[in-house]
Amino acid sequence: MKLARIAIWFDPEVAEARWRYGMNVFEAYLEELLNHRGITYEMPKRLDDLQRSRYDLVLVALAAETEATVDVLHRFASEGGGVVLFANLNRMAARFGYTRQPRYHSGYASFGSGGKGTDGSESRPLRFLDALPWRPFEENAASAGKLGEIRLDALQDDARDADHEVLPALLRFRVGAGFVDRWSVGLLTTIVGLQQGSAPLAEDGAPAPDGTASVNDGILKADDTIEMCWRRDRRVSETGAPYFAYPYADEWREVIIGHLVRRAAEHGWSVPYIGYWPPGVEAVAMISHDSDGNDEEHGMTTLELMKECGIRTTWCMIESGYSRKLYDRIEQDGHEIAFHYNAIDRNGYWAEAEFKRQLDFLRAVASDTDVVSNKNHVTRFEGWGELFRWCEKYGIESDQTRGPSKKGNVGFLFGTCHPYRPIAWSEERNRRYNVLEIGFLTQDLDHGKWTDTSVIVPFLEEVRRAEGVAHFLFHQVHLHQKQPVREAFRRTVQEAKARGFEFWTGKRINDWERARRGLRIVSVADDGAISVAAGTGEAEKIEAVLYIPVPEGGSGSGEHSHASSVTVRYGVPTIRTSTGTTPLMRSVK
């Protein structure tokens, strides 16, 4: 079976020019998407390196708007290669009889068969935050396949939909023996914007028009920067509780990967990838607690409740914390001790020195094991990347701050339930922080201040479909003082276990995700043997699921061993197997 040789073209000169002008290059996030899916790729340094003899697919993240660039990529396609453009390289439009249109900053894309998820199901309309479409400028424009549509509605006004033009979300051009596909949607800037906002946070956000989420409370928080539409992107539960229902960023990831897998398979190439969870793990949930008040009686109640439910959780500890005796018991029961940074003016403040001081205090008194996770008190946040820089510098590998603070903005308010690496602002050349963000869905169900238990099942079902993390926050104080919160906690665990969820701590998720990203599928032999490379020592220790799409007309589906199975993912027959437990690099039969 032939594995696709993939190149990401990211022109360093274009990036340097944009950074000089203080512009962001969120197109760099394409690397994060492929790394998260375990897809092998290369990053050529020069345009001349994009030769058909070296690569099968070129994913154009950032390119110079020059005829030289157009010539190289057009020739690559004509010789049998595949080129994918991400709302860029407008210079190429004229080659196909098209011209670029004005940029649109938000809207929704609807897909038919081209928007299928891993299970072949039809996708819902997806919110985007950037689009730069093309339009044919003459009657005899070169024919192009059109997939999906985008409704360009910058004003987010339902009543105006009919007045706005509908254009293809994806254009597909046949070029010689190959193809050029161009997304009209700015997929990479959309994913970044949904996850992290569109600008550094410096003021309160806009509240929900119906009064259910007054985020403008005078405290800068993560949820001051959401890019969802209050009216279109929320649903209401059976009790009338509003919630953000759609993990758009995760769905856009699936659109990108699914398109890549299918187009490669159509041309006889396989794009293998790594499963999100280990063999036998159907879905992952996480419970974290914030120790506001630091009453040890509250901690003891929470410990007993965790033992009753048979799960291990993450305890985010705010200064002054608990006694060492209670910390020892928390760890003896298998729970994680994490940091709860307090930057509220009356107790703490937003500064690197204060972050370090509080973290040092916790590490000195709490545990002999290192503290590697954090969640900020009241989801306090400001700026863009300061928090992630502090985490990197002081050994915090995973942050959990990005979640809701109000009753009406619970759910997928940042468009994702997956662990991801945030991207920096232009001042740091849009690097990816060495921190995993694991956001949460809601706080203390049935407390009264937040939402109720009617959202549990919708959240779990959507997270399971997205293969992400169902992260719920329950404070120790509320578990101790409020019987309805305790019952809501029990129901959350019961509903999750009934759907095959396993409960992991934040540290376990972080360790797994970092190790999993160290694996790459590098070859598949004619007899079906798979070679997997481990880039880190931790990656050598884990067992992971491998997915090998079988190209059209290709062999392999009948040559795998009894340890493998064939399923259909992204509309392509796919071998599902695992790495096993022997050292890498190795072959799996």
CATH number at residue 66: 3.40.50.880
Whether 165 and 310 share a structural domain: no
H-helix or E-strand spanning residue 264: helix 248-266
> Kindly report the CA angle at 242 between 236 and 245, in degrees rounded to 5?
75
pLDDT value of residue 347: 75
Average pLDDT over residues 409-428: 98
Q: Six-digit token pair at 416?
A: 């994702």
pLDDT at 5 over 90: yes
The residue assigned the tokens 């998820």 is: 117
Burial class (CB in 10 A: 0-12, 13-18, 19+), 219: middle
pLDDT value of residue 156: 30
CA distances from 220 to 190, 343, 390 (A): 23, 10, 18
Instruction: Report the distance separating Cα 64 and Cα 90, nearest Å.
Output: 10
Range of the domain at 310: 283-513
Least confident span in 54-68, 153-167, 388-402: 153-167
pLDDT value of residue 524: 83
Examine the fold and report which residue of 478, 513, 548 is the final residue of a domain before the chain moves on. Answer: 513
Split at pLDDT 50, 70, 90, the class of 574 is very high
Whether 411 and 263 share a structural domain: no
Whether 293 and 345 share a structural domain: yes
pLDDT at 152 over 80: no
Listed in sequence order, the residues at least 6 apart from 157 whose beta carbon sits closer than 8 Å to its beta carbon are none
Whether 167 and 262 share a structural domain: yes
pLDDT at 242 over 90: yes
> Kindly report the CA angle at 209 between 205 and 212, in degrees rounded to 5?
85
Q: Six-digit token pair at 554?
A: 């290709």
pLDDT at 150 over 70: no
Whether 117 and 46 share a structural domain: yes
pLDDT at 401 over 50: yes
Split at pLDDT 50, 70, 90, the class of 411 is very high
pLDDT tens-digit series, residues 253-284: 999 999 999 999 999 999 999 999 999 999 99
pLDDT tens-digit series, residues 445-465: 999 999 999 999 999 999 999
Buried b / exposed e along 420-454 (16+ C-beta atoms within 10 A): bbbbbbbeeebebbebbbbbbbbbbbbbeebbbbb
Average pLDDT over residues 118-130: 72
Whether 342 and 464 share a structural domain: yes
Q: Which of 57, 80, 83 is nearest to 70 (CA)?
A: 83
Backbone φ, ψ for residue 364 (5° rounding) = -75, -30
Whether 347 and 290 share a structural domain: yes
Domain-located, residue 237:
no
Number of domains in the chain: 3
Backbone φ, ψ for residue 183 (5° rounding) = -80, 130
pLDDT value of residue 311: 98
Whether 268 and 365 share a structural domain: no
8 A C-beta contact, residue 246 and residue 412: yes
3-class DSSP string for 306-364: HHHHCCCCEEEECCCCCCHHHHHHHHHCCCEEEECCCCCCCCCCCCHHHHHHHHHHHHH
Domain-located, residue 158:
yes
Least confident span in 140-149, 346-355, 534-543: 140-149
Domain-located, residue 205:
no
Q: Six-digit token pair at 175?
A: 């070029």
Domain-located, residue 218:
no
pLDDT tens-digit series, residues 455-508: 999 999 999 999 999 999 999 999 999 999 999 999 999 999 999 999 999 999
In terms of residues, how long is the chain? 589
The distance from CA 360 to its chain's CA centroid, rounded to whole angstroms, is 30
* 3-state class (DSSP) for residue 242: strand
Domain-located, residue 201:
no
CB atoms closer than 10 angstroms to residue 130: 23
Intra-chain end-to-end CA distance of the chain, in Å: 14
Listed in sequence order, the residues at least 6 apart from 3 whose beta carbon sits closer than 8 Å to its beta carbon are 40, 269, 270, 271, 272, 521, 522, 523, 524
Whether 265 and 295 share a structural domain: no
Domain-located, residue 243:
no
Whether 476 and 538 share a structural domain: no
Instruction: Report the distance separating Cα 407 and Cα 448, nearest Å.
Output: 8
- The Cβ-side half-sphere exposure at 251, using a 13 Å CA radius, reads 25
* 3-state class (DSSP) for residue 407: helix
8 A C-beta contact, residue 138 and residue 99: no
Whether 288 and 430 share a structural domain: yes
Kind of pairing between the strands at 98-100 and 134-136: antiparallel
**What is the maximal distance between C-alpha atoms in the chain?**
79
Examine the fold and report which residue of 455, 485, 513 is the final residue of a domain before the chain moves on. Answer: 513
Buried b / exposed e along 333-363 (16+ C-beta atoms within 10 A): eebbbbbbbbbeeeebebeeeebeebbeebb
Backbone φ, ψ for residue 5 (5° rounding) = -95, 115
Rounded mean pLDDT of the chain? 90
pLDDT value of residue 123: 63
Split at pLDDT 50, 70, 90, the class of 139 is low
- Residue type at 148 in one-letter notation: G
Q: What is the pTM of this model?
A: 0.93
8 A C-beta contact, residue 486 and residue 479: yes
CATH for 343: 3.20.20.370
Examine the fold and report which residue of 513, 536, 559 is the final residue of a domain before the chain moves on. Answer: 513
Query: Which ranges constitute the DSSP H helices of 467-576?
Result: 476-481, 483-498, 506-516
Domain-located, residue 252:
yes
pLDDT value of residue 161: 47
Whether 445 and 538 share a structural domain: no
CA distances from 324 to 320, 338, 484 (A): 11, 14, 30
Listed in sequence order, the residues at least 6 apart from 222 whose beta carbon sits closer than 8 Å to its beta carbon are 201, 376, 379, 381, 401, 402, 403, 405, 414
